Structure 1
Amino acid sequence: MTEDFDPQKTRAAAWFRSLRDEIVAAFEGLETGFGGANPGRFEVTPTTRESGGGGLMSVMRGGQVFEKVGVNISTVFGTLGDRAQKAMAARGVPGMADDPRFWASGISLVAHMQNPHTPAVHMNTRMFWTPHAWWFGGGADLNPCIEYAEDTAHFHAALQAACDAHDPDYYGKFKAWADEYFFVPHRGRARGVGGIFYDDLNTGDWDADFVFTQDVGRAFLKAFLPVTERRLGTPATEDDREVQLRHRGLYAEYNLVYDRGTKFGLETGHNAEAVLMSLPPVAKWY
Structure 2
Amino acid sequence: MTNQMEDERARASAWFRTLRDEIVAAFEGLEDSHHEGPFSDQAAGRFDVTETKRASDDGSDAGGGLMSVMRGGRVFEKVGVNVSTVYGRLGERAQMAMAARKGIPGMKDDPRFWASGISLVAHMQNPHCPAVHMNTRMFWTPHAWWFGGGSDLNPCLEYDEDTTHFHAVQKAHCDRHNAAEYPRLKAWADEYFYIPHRNRARGVGGIFLDDHNSGDWDADFAFIQDIGRAFLPAFQPLVEKRRVDAFGDAEKDAQLVHRGLYAEYNLVYDRGTKFGLETGHDANAVLMSLPPMAKWV
Do residues 69 (structure 1) and 79 (structure 2) align?
yes
CA–CA distance in structure 1, aligned partners of residues 189 and 3 of structure 2:
34
CA displacement at 1:88 relative to structure 2: 1.6
1:1-286 to 2 correspondences below 5 Å:
1-35=1-35, 36=40, 38-51=43-56, 52-90=62-100, 91-286=102-297
Aligned equivalents of 1:126, 1:158: Cα separation in 2: 20
In 1: Cα distance, 2:181 partner to 2:90 partner: 30
What amino acid maps onto 2:21 in structure 1?
D
Q: Deviations over 1:263-284 (max 9, x none)?
A: 0000000000000000000000
For 1:65 and 1:112, how far apart are their aligned partners in 2?
A: 9
- Superposed displacement of residue 147, structure 1: 0.2
Give the match's secondary structure for 2:197: coil
**Preserved contact between residue 2 and residue 131 of structure 1 (Cα < 8 Å):** no
After superposition, what is the alpha-carbon deviation per residue over 1:36-60, rounded to whole angstroms, capped at 9, x for unaligned? 4510000000001122000000000
Give 5+ residue unaligned stretches, structure 1. Answer: none
Structure 2 residues not aligned, in runs of 5+: 57-61
**How many percent identity over aligned positions?**
72
User: What secondary structure does 2:135 align onto?
Assistant: strand
Q: Within 2, Cα distance between the matches of 1:240 and 1:50? A: 41
Secondary structure of the structure 1 residue equivalent to 2:262: helix
Q: Report the AA paired with residue 206 of structure 2.
A: G
Query: Offset at 1:94?
Result: 2.1
* Range with bigger deviation, 107-116 or 163-172: 163-172
Query: Equivalent residue of 2:137, what SS?
Result: strand
Partners of 2:105 and 2:114 lie apart in 1 by 16
Q: Distance in 1 between matches of 2:2 and 2:139?
A: 13
Deviates more, 1:51-60 or 1:31-40: 31-40
Alignment RMSD:
0.8
The one-letter code of the counterpart of 1:256 is L
Distance 1:154 1:266 in 2: 34
Aligned equivalents of 1:220, 1:266: Cα separation in 2: 26
Structure 1 residue identity aligned to 2:16: F
Inter-partner Cα distance in structure 1 for 2:205 and 2:282: 28
How far is 1:92 from its partner? 1.8
1-structure distance, mates of 2:108, 2:43? 53
Compute the displacement of 1:146 (Å): 0.4
Shift of 1:3: 4.0
* SS state at 1:186 partner: helix
Please identify runs of 4+ aligned residues in structure 1 that moved more than 4 A: none
- The answer to whether the Cα contact below 8 Å between 2:55 and 2:282 also exists between their aligned partners in 1 is no
Residue 47 of structure 1 contacts residue 54 of structure 1 at CA under 8 Å; is this kept in 2? Answer: yes
Q: 1:204-233 CA distances to partner (integer Å, 9 max, x unpaired)?
A: 000000011111111100100011111011
Q: Which moved further from structure 2: 103-112 or 89-98?
A: 89-98
Letter in 1 for 2:19: L
TM-superposed CA distance for 1:2, in Å, is: 5.0
Q: Return the TM-score normalized by structure 2.
A: 0.95
